[in-house]
Structure formats: C-alpha cells, structure tokens
C-alpha cells in the first residue's frame, strides 16, 4: 500500500492495522466461545476446541471476501503422513487434528478428573492417522496412472518496480520467450508463465507483434502455453480482469480464465466509496473485477485448471475445478510484492496442500519464486529458489481419480459449525 499503492505511510499503516484487526476477530471469536464453554462445562469443554477452531477458520475463508491465509492445518504441509488427512477432510481436518492435540494437552494440565483419557484418545487418533498416512504416501498409487505430460515452468524474476516500465517491456518479453525456448528444447509440452507476465495486455491488440510471436512459437513447437495477462472487457466504463490465457498447439486461444478471488488492497479496494482518502490506491490497483466461473481449460483431449495468485488458498475453488473435469492443477502467481519474507514460502506450502486434497499433480509458476511441481501426495518433485530466474522442466500426470474430499467438499468443516452451534445452545440451556 505504501511502496506500490501510492499511499502516504500514515494512511497505509492505518489501513494495515484495520486489516489486522479484522483478521483478529476470528481467533477472538474462538477465544470467547471457548471461555464461555469452559465457564459452563469445565475442562471437558476443551474437547470442543477443534470444532470451534475450524468454525473460526471457515468464517475467515468466507466472511466478506475471505482471507484464509495460513490456516492451522498448513503447519503439517511438509509432514506428509499427517498431511494425507487432507485427502479425506481437507485442510480443515488437519487443522482440527492439530487443535485436538493442543486441547488434549491443555486438558491434561487443568483437569482434576480423567486427565489422561482425552490425551489417550487423541494420541490413538494421531497414531492411526500417521500410520495410515505413511502407508498411503509410500504406496503412491496415483503417481503411476494417467497420461504423463512434460511441464515447463518459466520464472522470469522481474522486479515489481520495473515490471510496467515501457522502456523495459521489450527486454522482459524477449527474456520470457528465450526461457520458453529453453523449456521447449528440454521437452516441455505445456509451458507456464507467471501471473501478469506479459508487459502488455495479451488480446487488447490481436495484431500486436509480440502476440503473433507467441502464437507462432506455440504453433511451431507444438506446445500449449499458459500465460498471465491483464484483460479489458470493452464497455462504459471498461471492465478489468486479472486473467490467464491458454494457447493451443496451433497458436489459437483455447480458453481464458478470469481470477475470481481478488486480493483486497492489492487488486480492489473494499468500501472504496467510504474510504475516500485512499484514492491513490484505487488508481494504483486498477480496480479489477472478479471472474464469475471456475473455467476449465482444454489441452488436447485433457482438461486443466489454473488458480491465479492467492486463489490457491481457497480449497473449495480448487475442488470446483476438479468437479468440472480438471485433470491437472496449475497456479500462476507474482509474489514479488512480498520481497524476501516468509510469505512466498507460506504461499508455496499452501498450494502443495491442494495437491493432497484433490489427488492431482500441482504445477506452479511464480515470477520471483517459488515455482515447482508437487505430486498428489504432497511430495515436492521440483522447486526453485527465491528471487532468481529459473526454467524448470519436469513430469506431471493428468489424473481422473478422485479423493474423498474432492467428492464431499467441506462437509467436515460445516459439521464443525453445527457442533459449535450445539455447544452454544447447550450452554444456554444449562444456564
């Protein structure tokens, strides 16, 4: 908001604090409900903590535009035996297990009676999940089915400060083309560019020389090319979208996906009429509009999907893609905004959990990193370093198998909401 949004630092700080305060409402709700439950039922109420916590996470995902960044379950993204639970109940199920372990430990400390029983039950559950998850990941049955595809990931490492500099546009584009040729020479059949990677709007001028060059490259090399570019829909006023374009092997446009979950303060300004003093930010973020459909894109006889930037942290969106026929999950992003912080690593870990939930390979192209390939069990097959240019070529597979989570969705999470509501009602009746 300050560096890229054109706001003064005092205004940017106030808006940032407002976002933090809003996000804090959800753990605060958890704390209030648990405190009241403990006051009524004593330490036994701690066993409701996993359900109440998941309820707060589900609220954080959906209330207003939602911002489900770094839910508790993501702490297990690289603990593969535990992460396999996501294939059954999604990341919310993993969050519940982590919360249950903590609740059992707290119960053992504060309870005067039956201190051990909850801890034993949770320990047994943890062992069952761990053993089952270890065996599931070791068997890795889905890594040997489906049609293989060589995927190329282009990580241009373009600094955000020069990304839209007209004097650098030709160099940036030619660099992406050169890196794409490298990927093709190494056998890539499907090449991914990051979010908003073209230094021009791809279809704004159909006869643009650079657009023709990309179509010609796809046609000559017989590859499919997925790239991120801003899009304008004519009108009064015109509508702006953050989009992904898929080029066929014949150079034609196979399909377009428009980003559905926009980043608040980064791609649109919430309550912009009320927050009149953030006018510079409105101008800086271009005020994008959300897409309306989880479009699945055709690659020959197969279907793929793409999530743009932080959309990948929405489990249900990725499920909609799979229900719609996606056989390969892709995600394109520009994490240059984050700089050298923990956020790019968090973003990649959250994306990898989607592969486990949906039983799909996930491939990710990021402007400054981290780009990589993840198998359906959360194993990272390839991963780039942060803040350096890279070309990655590796094998993924088109899969049509389905996990339980992909079939049932957030049933567990909504069941947790019901359990939380029952706790509140039971407390009122006791009173």
Neighbours of 19 (CB within 10 A): 14
User: Is 272 labeled as catalytic in the residue annotation?
Assistant: no
Q: Please tell me which residue in 57, 195, 267, 311 is annotated as part of the active site.
A: 195
Alpha-carbon span 86 to 376, nearest angstrom:
11
Residue 196's region, left for phi above 0, alpha for psi from -120 to 50, else beta, is left
Q: Please name which of 264, 267, 189, 265 lies closest in space to residue 228, comparing C-alpha atoms.
A: 267
Q: Is 259 a catalytic residue?
A: yes
189 in active site: no
Give, as one character, the DSSP assignment of residue 266.
T
Q: How many CA atoms lie within 13 A of 243 on its CB side?
A: 26
Neighbour order of strands in the sheet with 190-192: 253-258, 239-247, 224-233, 190-192, 147-155, 390-398
Query: CA 114, CA 190: separation in Å to the nearest integer?
Result: 58
C-alpha 255: how far from chain center: 21
Q: Give the three-state DSSP class for 192.
A: strand
Name the catalytic one among 163, 231, 309, 327.
Answer: 309
Alpha helices per DSSP H over 160-291: 169-185, 209-221, 279-285
Spatial neighbors of 35 by CB under 8 A, at least 6 apart, are none
> Which residue in 359, 399, 356 sits closest to 93, CA to CA?
356
Question: Quick check: helix, strand or coil at residue 20?
Answer: helix
| Active-site annotation holder among 57, 189, 231, 259 | 259
How far is residue 247's CA from residue 289's CA, in Å, rounded to a whole number? 23
161: tokens are: 């400060």
Strands 328-333 and 302-308: parallel
**Rounded Cα gap, residues 349 and 77, in angstroms:** 6
Q: For residues 103 and 289, give the distance between their C-alpha atoms in angstroms, rounded to a whole number.
A: 42
Q: Rounded distance, CA 351 to CA 328, Å?
A: 13
In angstroms, rounded to a whole number, what is the distance separating the alpha carbons of residues 160 and 193?
16
Contacts with 54 (C-beta within 8 Å, 6 or more apart), sequence order = 92, 95, 96, 99, 412, 413, 416
Q: Annotated active-site positions, please?
A: 195, 259, 309
């Amino acid at each position: 908001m300050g560096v890229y949004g054109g706001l003064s630092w005092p205004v940017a700080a106030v808006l940032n604090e407002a976002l933090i305060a809003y996000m804090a409402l959800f753990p605060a709700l958890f704390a209030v409900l648990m405190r009241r439950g403990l006051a009524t039922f004593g330490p036994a109420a701690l066993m409701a903590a996993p359900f109440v916590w998941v309820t707060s996470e589900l609220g954080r995902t959906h209330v207003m535009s939602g911002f489900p960044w770094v839910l508790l379950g993501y702490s297990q993204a690289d603990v593969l035996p535990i992460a396999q639970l996501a294939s059954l109940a999604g990341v919310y199920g993993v969050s519940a297990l982590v919360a249950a372990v903590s609740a059992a430990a707290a119960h053992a400390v504060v309870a005067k009676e039956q201190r051990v029983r909850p801890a034993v039950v949770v320990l047994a559950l943890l062992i069952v999940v761990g053993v089952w998850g270890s065996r599931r990941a070791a068997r890795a049955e889905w890594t040997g089915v489906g049609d293989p595809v060589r995927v190329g990931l282009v990580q241009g490492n373009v600094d955000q400060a020069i990304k839209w500099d007209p004097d650098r546009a030709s160099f940036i584009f030619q660099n992406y083309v050169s890196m794409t040729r490298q990927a093709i020479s190494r056998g890539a059949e499907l090449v991914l560019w990051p979010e908003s990677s073209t230094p021009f709007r791809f279809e704004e001028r159909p006869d643009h020389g650079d657009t023709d060059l990309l179509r010609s490259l796809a046609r000559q090399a017989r590859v499919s090319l997925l790239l991120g570019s801003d899009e304008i829909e004519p009108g009064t006023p015109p509508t702006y979208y953050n989009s992904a374009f898929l080029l066929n092997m014949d150079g034609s446009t196979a399909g377009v996906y428009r980003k559905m979950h926009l980043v608040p303060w980064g791609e649109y300004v919430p309550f912009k009429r009320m927050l009149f003093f953030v006018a510079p930010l409105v101008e800086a973020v271009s005020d994008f509009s959300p897409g309306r459909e989880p479009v699945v894109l055709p690659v020959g006889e197969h279907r793929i999907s793409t999530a743009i930037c932080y959309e990948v942290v929405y489990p249900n969106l990725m499920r909609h893609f799979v229900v719609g026929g996606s056989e390969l999950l892709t995600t394109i992003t520009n994490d240059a905004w984050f700089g050298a912080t923990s956020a790019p690593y968090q973003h990649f870990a959250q994306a990898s959990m989607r592969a486990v939930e949906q039983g799909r390979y996930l491939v990710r192209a990021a402007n400054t990193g981290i780009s990589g390939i993840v198998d359906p069990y959360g194993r990272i097959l390839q991963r780039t370093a942060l803040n350096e240019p890279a070309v990655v070529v590796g094998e993924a597979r088109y899969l049509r198998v389905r996990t339980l989570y992909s079939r049932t969705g957030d049933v567990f999470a909504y069941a947790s909401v019901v359990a939380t509501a029952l706790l509140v009602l039971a407390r009122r009746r006791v009173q």
